[in-house]
Chain A
Amino acid sequence: MTRASVVGAGMTKFGVHDRPLQELFGEAAFEAFDDAGVEPADVESFYFGNAMGGQTENDTHLAPKLASHVGIAGVPAQRYEDACATSANAFKNAVQAVEAGIHDVVLVGGVERCTPQTGLDTAEMTRIFASASHRQYEQPTGLTFPGVFALLTKRHMHEHGTTPEHLAHVAVKNHEHGTRNPRAHFGKETTVEAVLEGPIVADPFRLMDCCPFSDGAAAVVLVSDEVADSYDAPVDVTGIGHATDVVPIGDKLTPHVTQAARDASAQAYEQAGITAADVDFAEVHDCFTGAEVMASEAIGLIEDGQGGPAAAEGRTSYDGDIPINASGGLKAKGHPIGATGAAQIVELTEQIRGEAGARQLDEAEYGVAHNLGGDAATTLVTVMEGRR
């Protein structure tokens, strides 16, 4: 059943952007307005995501600032923060609002600037990212975010025999996909050998197992089912699941299964009336290569324990049987934290409309987005379909 429909999508190139948050967000929002054919006066509310602006650039209370910049001052505007799942959560709340009949047309999006070129250096950003781990029971160990996912991935490797080569294949695949995406932060291919020769960040992750710090913004115009047919190319949201897991890692029952993703995807598939077998393609949260392996299993696209081999065998490639991260994913497209969830929705929209250019997939009827936050303790899974 349709819960809401995306009728306009926009995003900036991800990479380095030396301009203020409102101007960066404005580019994505105006593109989404123009794509939808809406005017600011049509927009009834603003659901916005930014994770770390207060910490990184002393910039808070951003929702009304950005609303003012894009011509929608006056509407109710709210900001969400759930680490890397920030704008997926904004999107979920927007879906619920239009589904409930509170609004018919809303703007949803996110923005973040994370690059050393426009903000803080790597050590400072590493500290800020680590603020999403438990303040009392994890941060004092010196744990970093690559370290968080390294802990989960190491246990997955121990349980299932996942290897560093498997992980490297995820990076190689997503970089190859990124060459097809003009908005990707990295548009250059790499090799398994190059990945395995990179410097270690937090073992088993080497530099190329990790997504970059990016600047960028993404936005969509979301409308109610009732009014969707009056727009040119609506793409329906038929399921959106949202679950959380226990923090800290030590108190999770089985950390590497990423239970929140299993719970969120089960909710999303049930709402959409589909199973994982019906999914044609997915955008998953590959902040680190091991995260993609665990996500591909948790949302049911690959059998448990086979996420690594599936990437190595090409099953999750652009031309494989279940393409994952055709956009390049966080790994190659980039990861401006608060924009990432919305950018996944932009990619699903473009693929389902058949507007994805050089990365267009042959079969893109049912798309899934998986956006996680923190140590996988927040996960949202969204199912989108073309309107028939």
Chain B
Amino acid sequence: MSSDLPERLTYGEWTRALKEGRLLGQACGACANVLGTPKGACPHCGTRDLETVELPTSGEVYTETTVMVPPEGVEERGYQVAVVQVGEARVMGRVDGNGGEVHVDIGDSVELTGYIKGEGDDPAPLFRPAD
């Protein structure tokens, strides 16, 4: 699997993977932090020695909120946004609330179930409670 990972992770590669149901991140070769989104250099130590890594698609809710007053362009309200710990990295995504029936709390297990399209069709990870 690792042979098809891009040497230098970009936004385009990250979104392409997301649309395939995968989460890509970067492991720092110097300070050992793992990033959930692509950078040109490690934000914690500055090295450009970043290796593209496959992140787990299931993890635990690190923090979450339910947005009741949405920005212009978002029609619904009452949707949940969460930062999810996936392995050693964290990524932000939307929780699939199934029309308000599903809610997750900090520490709950969730898994990637697809993606939603935000402004300009930019994708964001979509999570649901893990079975």
State the A residues within 8 Å of B (CB): 122-124, 126-127, 130, 134, 136-144, 146-147, 150-152, 154-155, 158, 199-204, 246, 248-251, 253, 255-256
Asked if residues A126 and B94 are in contact (CB atoms below 8 Å), the reply is no
Asked if residues A246 and B44 are in contact (CB atoms below 8 Å), the reply is yes
Interface residues contributed by chain B, number (CB under 8 Å):
39
Q: Which A residue sits closest to B125, measured CB to CB?
A: A141
9 A-B pairs closest in CB distance: A140-B118, A150-B65, A127-B71, A140-B124, A250-B90, A123-B72, A155-B63, A127-B72, A140-B122
Report chain B residues within 8 Å CB of A204: 65
From known contacts A126-B69, A155-B63, infer whether A136 and B11 are also in contact, taking CB-CB under 8 Å: yes
Q: Quick one: CB contact mask for B65-97 with A, threshold 8 Å, 1 for yes?
A: 111111111100001010100000111111000
B123 at the interface (CB under 8 A from A): yes
Asked if residues A139 and B122 are in contact (CB atoms below 8 Å), the reply is yes
Asked if residues B116 and A140 are in contact (CB atoms below 8 Å), the reply is yes
Asked if residues A151 and B83 are in contact (CB atoms below 8 Å), the reply is yes
B37 at the interface (CB under 8 A from A): yes
Report chain A residues within 8 Å CB of B70: 123, 126, 142, 144
Q: How many contacting A-B pairs (Cβ < 8 A)?
A: 116
From known contacts A137-B92, A147-B81, A250-B92, infer whether A123 and B71 are also in contact, taking CB-CB under 8 Å: yes
State the B residues within 8 Å of A (CB): 11, 33, 35-37, 39, 43-44, 62-74, 79, 81, 83, 89-94, 106-107, 116-119, 122-124
| Cα–Cα distance between A134 and B37 once the two chains are bound (Å) | 11
Least Cβ–Cβ distance between A204 and chain B, in angstroms: 8
Asked if residues A142 and B67 are in contact (CB atoms below 8 Å), the reply is yes
Report chain A residues within 8 Å CB of B72: 123-124, 126-127
Asked if residues B43 and A144 are in contact (CB atoms below 8 Å), the reply is no
Report chain B residues within 8 Å CB of A126: 69-72
| Cα–Cα distance between A126 and B36 once the two chains are bound (Å) | 26
Chain A interface SS verdict (over half): helix
Report chain A residues within 8 Å CB of B68: 199-203
Q: Which B residue sits closest to A244, measured CB to CB?
A: B43
Q: List 24 A-B contacts (CB under 8 A).
A: A123-B71, A123-B72, A126-B69, A126-B71, A127-B72, A127-B73, A130-B71, A137-B91, A138-B92, A139-B119, A141-B94, A141-B124, A142-B67, A142-B71, A146-B69, A147-B65, A155-B62, A200-B66, A202-B68, A250-B36, A250-B89, A251-B39, A251-B89, A253-B33
Report chain B residues within 8 Å CB of A123: 70-72
Least Cβ–Cβ distance between B129 and chain A, in angstroms: 17
From known contacts A127-B71, A142-B79, infer whether A154 and B63 are also in contact, taking CB-CB under 8 Å: yes
Asked if residues A246 and B94 are in contact (CB atoms below 8 Å), the reply is no
From known contacts A127-B71, A140-B124, A155-B106, infer whether A203 and B94 are also in contact, taking CB-CB under 8 Å: no
Asked if residues B66 and A203 are in contact (CB atoms below 8 Å), the reply is yes
Since A127-B71, A146-B67, A155-B106 are in contact, a sample of 10 more A-B pairs with Cβ atoms closer than 8 Å, ordered by chain A residue number, is A123-B70, A123-B72, A126-B69, A126-B70, A140-B122, A141-B94, A146-B69, A151-B81, A202-B69, A250-B90
Least Cβ–Cβ distance between A135 and chain B, in angstroms: 8
From known contacts A123-B71, A141-B124, A142-B67, infer whether A246 and B92 are also in contact, taking CB-CB under 8 Å: no
| Cα–Cα distance between A300 and B119 once the two chains are bound (Å) | 39
Of B11, B69, B92, the contact of A249 (CB 8 Å cutoff): B92
From known contacts A139-B122, A147-B81, A246-B44, infer whether A202 and B37 are also in contact, taking CB-CB under 8 Å: no
Asked if residues B94 and A251 are in contact (CB atoms below 8 Å), the reply is no
Report chain A residues within 8 Å CB of B123: 140
Report chain A residues within 8 Å CB of B107: 158
Asked if residues B69 and A201 are in contact (CB atoms below 8 Å), the reply is yes
From known contacts A154-B65, A202-B66, A250-B83, infer whether A140 and B71 are also in contact, taking CB-CB under 8 Å: no
Asked if residues A139 and B37 are in contact (CB atoms below 8 Å), the reply is no
Report chain A residues within 8 Å CB of B35: 251
| Cα–Cα distance between A151 and B33 once the two chains are bound (Å) | 21
Q: Which B residue sits closest to A251, measured CB to CB?
A: B35
Of B37, B39, B90, B92, the contact of A143 (CB 8 Å cutoff): B92
Least Cβ–Cβ distance between B103 and chain A, in angstroms: 10
* Residue among A130, A138, A143, A202 with the highest chain B CB neighbour number at 10 A: A143
Report chain B residues within 8 Å CB of A137: 36-37, 91-92
From known contacts A127-B73, A146-B69, A201-B69, infer whether A136 and B122 are also in contact, taking CB-CB under 8 Å: yes
Report chain B residues within 8 Å CB of A130: 71
Of B64, B81, B89, the contact of A142 (CB 8 Å cutoff): B81
Report chain A residues within 8 Å CB of B124: 140-142
Asked if residues A142 and B69 are in contact (CB atoms below 8 Å), the reply is no
Least Cβ–Cβ distance between B122 and chain A, in angstroms: 4
